[in-house]
Copies of this chain bind each other. A is one copy, B any other.
Amino acid sequence: MHKGRLEAFSDGVIAIIITIMVLEMKVPHGEDWATLVPLLPVFVSYILSFANVGIYWNNHHHLLQAAKHVDGRVLWANLHLLFWLSLMPFVTGWMGENHFAPIPVALYGIDLLMSGIAYYLLVHALLAVNGQDSALARAIGKDFKGRISVAVYVVAIALAFVRAEISMALYVAVAIMWFVPDRRIERTIRD
């Protein structure tokens, strides 16, 4: 099975997700700066989600590049990841429109958590077909960042009901942690 079309389809879906999120920022009536103020939380949510989806694209790119083989299970694991990412525009819009209220912030975290788990399952589907001794396996190593993210998301979801600001800070922290592309994979490929 050829991984090229899997990448192309994922690129298409991720490109659409990252772009249609902006449709949640409805063009306001009125022509002064004050009109834009109520949109600020929606805009902040948009930036965070743009960064998160961008990170997923980036990591997906590195992951698939390190992989040699894909099979049916990988296709489904990939679709499963795209499913949770496709809900990002919805949870982003709900969080933004409600000015980071506890439940929308928690739901946003749940979508991030499910995406993180889906990514983890995709990594393992790829390992199953590429082998535990493959360049991919060496590149991923112990997948420290993946495990940390999932743990932090669980904490952030719980804390949303105490103080949503802490959850937001944790979401941002995870994003910053991922911002650096996975050097281990890049390094191994180059070797």
Residue positions of A touching B, CB distance < 8 A: 1-2, 5-9, 11-20, 22-25, 27-33, 36, 47, 50, 54, 57-58, 61, 65, 72, 75-76, 79, 82-83, 86-87, 89-90, 93-94, 97-98, 101-104, 107, 179-181, 183, 186
Q: Could you give 13 example pairs across A and B, Cβ below 8 Å?
A: A5-B7, A5-B61, A8-B8, A16-B20, A18-B82, A22-B90, A27-B94, A33-B103, A50-B83, A54-B79, A58-B76, A72-B180, A72-B181
Partner of A57, one of B9, B29, B86, B186: B9
Q: For A11, list chain B residues within 8 Å (CB).
A: 5, 8-9, 12
A13 to B17, CA, bound (A): 9
* Nearest-neighbor residue (CB-CB) of A91 within chain B: B27
Q: For A9, list chain B residues within 8 Å (CB).
A: 11, 14-15, 57, 61
A98 to B7, CA, bound (A): 36
Contact: A89 with B16, CB < 8 Å?
A: no
Contact: B17 with A101, CB < 8 Å?
A: no
A9 to chain B, nearest CB (A): 5
